[in-house]
Chains A and B, each alone.
Chain A
Amino acid sequence: MANAIEVRDLTVAYRESPVLWDIDLDVPSGALMAIVGPNGAGKTTLIQTILSLIKPAAGQIRVLGQSYRSVASSVGYVPQRGSVDWDFPTSAMDVVMMGLYGRLGWIRRPGRNERMEAMAALDQVGMAELALRQISQLSGGQQQRVFLARALVQDARIYLMDEPLQGVDATTERTIIELLRTLQSLGKTVMVVHHDLQTVSSYFDEVLLLNVRRIASGPVSEVFTEANLRLTYGGRVAIIKDAT
């Protein structure tokens, strides 16, 4: 399998104006890819369309060579932290176990095995001690790690993450980056919506520059150039001059 994800002629529109326009994209198997672009570039939309959460206006997406529905259990998803109500009455452990609901099937309840798997995933993100904590009592970075642990228990081949480094503390950022590297070394494909241009080169090996259209994609060393960034962000690119 050369490509984990293939996107062809993808167009997505809310009402009249397109959010994504004629996107072609190959995500090589085993890639650790950053998706960067300005606000409203369609980064989240792209991820959600790959996950079939949004119906495209045109185009096709193949995940592991098949439709998303048939390989859903091989795909792990880390939504934006702000997409849920953290005051929901539940514990960190409980949220992590939700990653196993797809595999458990209908009616069956999570049991001892599921709790142990969840605990192992929490341990992997350094959250084992806070497993029984109510989720509103966790810091932003800890909540983000709970979401990551929930994706980890899915034991997927592809991970799609929406801004996992947004507003997290330094400890969490280190934990997450280490985790991304571990996933890559296990042969997983990881796509991460990322906003900090300074760290793209050091954290990722592939990058997609997106602004409604695909500006460029490929190895960071080749496509993460000032010229491409200027095309992606328009004139507002001065701050990252020395990042490339």
Chain B
Amino acid sequence: MEQLLGDYTFRTVALGTAILGAISGALGAFAVLRRQSLLGDAVSHAALPGVGLAFIITGSKAPLILMVGAGLAGWLATVVVLVITTTTRIKYDGALGFVLSVFFGIGLVLLTFIQKYPDASQAGLDSFLFGQAAALVKQDVITIAVLGGLALVVLVLYWKEFKLLSFDPEFASSLVLPVRRLDLGLTTLLVVAIVIGLQTVGVVLMSAMIIAPAAAARQWTDNLGVMVLISMAIGAFSGVGGALLSTTTSNLPTGPTIVLCASGIVLISVIIAPRRGLVWEKIRRTLQSRRLRSEAILLDLFELARKHESFEHPHMEAALLVMHPDASTLRRQLRSLHSKGLISVHSTGGWALTQEGANTCKELMAKRMR
């Protein structure tokens, strides 16, 4: 492990995946909040023909050139989706599915065509399908860092506009903010975030890097800024974790490993995050239903006692059992009410309300009347 961290190649790979994880985490947060997760998927698939065309035209595999090709194709895809939804009656999801499959199909055809090139210059292009982090070199990392850094700077500069756009675009428009241009800008940043991860994670799974860190981060906070930071951290962590696992284990593809890391964090977050997590939800429900059940028993005792001269008139468990057939639950609830001092045990073995219990009943009934 220590040896690995000292290893220059590994450090390069880890740095690259960390940066791209952080960037896709940041832009992914906005995509998820704007319900554009599927757009990310369409863009990443649609970027593939751009990679192929860039290579065919230039004959170069320089990261920047391939990324520009991928970016243009991905960006074109979003424009096509927009044109389809505004000029035809095809709905957004239909347009996304259509664009995704058509562009991806063209991309596969181009890659197959390139495979048949006589020399070996095309080697490695197919890594764009499933990703190949081990091949990251210093030049790739620099490209990722510069493009991603630019995207982050723009995101921070126009933070409040992007926030308003994501929350309430109609209101933004009433302030005469250029909503369409802002929308285009934010989508372009998303395209950048996707494109810089393509070579490492692959077009097939890149959308997970957009969605997963953001979805996990949302579980932990109610503040947009904090959510973006957590999302970046999760993205970076998954990137490094995935790269580490896939470099130390042979035959483990990088992209899927990174995505599995991120998905694991999502799973944990969905289950245990305070307030929004499933465990928390379950505890809250159980407590609530327990409270409601014991309130019902208390009110029943109150009703029964009303037929007598005093609220302290005791009733046997059997009488309550008619209304609450589960004997063991009933007994547990009675004990709990007793320990709270709301009911008392009569010498005959029956249960009766205490003064405090009667007061609680009156409060409850007043609350329910409202």
Interface residues in chain A, defined as those with a beta carbon under 8 Å from any beta carbon in chain B: 48, 51-53, 68-69, 72, 75, 77, 79, 83-85, 88-91, 95, 98, 101-102, 104, 106-107, 109-110, 134, 136, 150
Q: Are B159 and A88 within 8 A (Cβ)?
A: no
Query: Cβ of B174 and Cβ of A88 under 8 Å apart?
Result: no
Given contacts A52-B173, A79-B168, 14 further A-B contacts (CB under 8 A): A51-B173, A84-B168, A85-B167, A88-B166, A89-B218, A89-B221, A89-B222, A89-B223, A98-B164, A98-B167, A101-B164, A101-B172, A102-B176, A150-B171
The answer, yes or no, to whether B175 is at the interface (CB within 8 Å) is yes
Measured between beta carbons, the chain B residues less than 8 angstroms from A89 are: 33, 218, 221-224, 226-227
- A48 vs B171: C-alpha distance when bound (angstroms): 10
Contacts across chains A and B counted by CB atoms under 8 Å: 72
Are the C-beta atoms of B218 and A98 separated by less than 8 Å?
no
Which A residues touch B157, using CB under 8 A?
A: 107
Q: CB distance B223 to A91 under 8 Å?
A: yes
**Interface residue count on the B side (C-beta < 8 Å):** 26
Contact B174 A84, beta carbon cutoff 8 Å: no
Residue of A48, A79, A90, A106 near B161 (CB, 8 A) is A106
Q: Which residues of B contact A91 (CB under 8 A)?
A: 222-223
CA distance A110 to B176 in the complex (A): 18
Of the candidates A52, A75, A110, the one whose C-beta lies within 8 Å of that of B160 is A110
Q: Is B177 an interface residue (CB 8 A)?
A: yes
**Closest Cβ–Cβ distance, residue B167 to chain A (whole Å):** 5
Closest B residue to A109 using CB positions: B160
Residues of B within 8 A of A (CB): 33, 157-161, 163-164, 166-168, 170-177, 218, 221-224, 226-227
Q: Quick check: A53 and B170 within 8 Å, CB to CB?
A: yes
Closest 8 CB pairs of A and B: A102-B175, A134-B222, A77-B174, A72-B176, A51-B174, A84-B168, A88-B167, A89-B222
Shortest CB distance B50–A (Å) = 31
Q: Which residues of B contact A72 (CB under 8 A)?
A: 174-176
Asked if B177 and A102 make an inter-chain contact with CB atoms under 8 angstroms apart, the answer reads yes
B178 to A: closest C-beta gap in Å: 10
Which residues does chain B contribute within 8 Å of A107, judged by CB atoms? 157-158
Knowing A72-B176, A89-B227, A90-B224 are in contact, say whether A106-B170 is a contact too (CB < 8 A).
no
Partner of A53, one of B174, B218, B224: B174
- Report Cα–Cα, A69/B173, bound state, in Å: 10
User: Could you tell me if B218 and A79 are in contact, using CB atoms closer than 8 angstroms?
Assistant: no
Find the A residue at minimum CB distance from B89. A15
- CB<8 Å pairs between A and B, sample of 29: A48-B170, A51-B173, A52-B173, A52-B176, A53-B170, A72-B175, A79-B168, A79-B171, A88-B33, A88-B166, A88-B167, A89-B33, A89-B221, A89-B223, A90-B167, A90-B223, A90-B224, A91-B223, A98-B160, A98-B171, A101-B160, A101-B161, A101-B177, A102-B176, A102-B177, A106-B161, A110-B160, A134-B222, A150-B171
Which residue, of A51, A77, A89, has the highest number of chain B Cβ atoms within 10 A?
A89
Structural contact, B223 and A69, CB atoms closer than 8 A: no
B159 touches A77 (CB 8 A): no
Contacts of A150 in B (CB 8 A): 171
Nearest Cβ distance between residue B172 and chain A, in whole angstroms?
8
Q: How far is the CA of A3 from the CA of B187 in the complex (A)?
A: 41
Tell me the nearest residue of chain B to A90, going by C-beta. Answer: B224
